[in-house]
Amino acid sequence: MSAREPDTAGGEDGAATRRRAFIDGARAVTVVLPGVLPFATVAGATAVDAGLSVSAAMAMSLLIFAGSAQLVLIQLFDAGAALVTMLLTALVINLRFAMYSAGLAPLFHGATLRQRLLMGYVLSDQAFAICTARFDARMGAAQRVAFFFGISLPMWIVWECGTLAGALLGRAVPPEWSLDFAVPLMFLGLLLLGLRSPAQRVAALVAAVVAVLGRDWAYNSGLLIGALAGVLCGWLAQRLLRSRSRSRSQPGAGR
């Protein structure tokens, strides 16, 4: 869709349509926010534990806004790594955002340069996953931009607030109150967004059950076997569902 095409849908004016798309994006991201907050708290607490001040921890969070890169940089800083090593490591870790941008760019053809720059700053794994799962051909470019910011702005706010909370309170949290669950919880939310068919749900359930049952197997093989079992069961479930669908569509079915 070009930038000159109308921004309306269903007789509503453009502002109302964008506002509704923004709200839809904010609703869509709520499923992953419970995992983002503790992850951000971990990042803030880890930064302070590594010797950064609260202001330095927040400056890094505001500048980078990338959880995995922040945690790795903090670890390298704590280990006394050279600045060049830290910068190159962060660049490699964040290369995936270049692929995300390439994949999303055609969907935002009508966005202004200012919007694109801001979108590049707040782009996240969550925003990419939700956009690719929820966008459809009926959404105009302006609606997609509003939907994207509906996802990304709450993400940014929760991340920065969580980082600040971790930086201020991290040292006061007892060691036994481990927050290591934060990262798996966040990516579990992303996984749930991608389970859109019965076959996918079967695959995820089987993989999770087998991986948990095999958590003590040698060489961490439970994870690999769980993944293979999930793929196999998902494939079988898809074939079964397609077979049932074909049988129901045949003439005389159900008589």
User: Can you read off the two tokens belonging to residue 105?
Assistant: 């760019």
81 burial level (CB within 10 Å; 0-12, 13-18, 19+): middle
- Sequence-distant (6+) residues with CB within 8 A of 72 are 89, 90, 93
3-state secondary structure at position 87 = helix
**Cα(127)–Cα(147) distance, rounded to whole angstroms?**
10
Global pTM reads 0.68
> What pLDDT digit, counting tens, does each position of 186-240 carry?
566 666 666 667 887 888 888 888 988 988 888 778 878 888 888 899 899 888 8
What local confidence, expressed as pLDDT, does residue 185 receive?
57
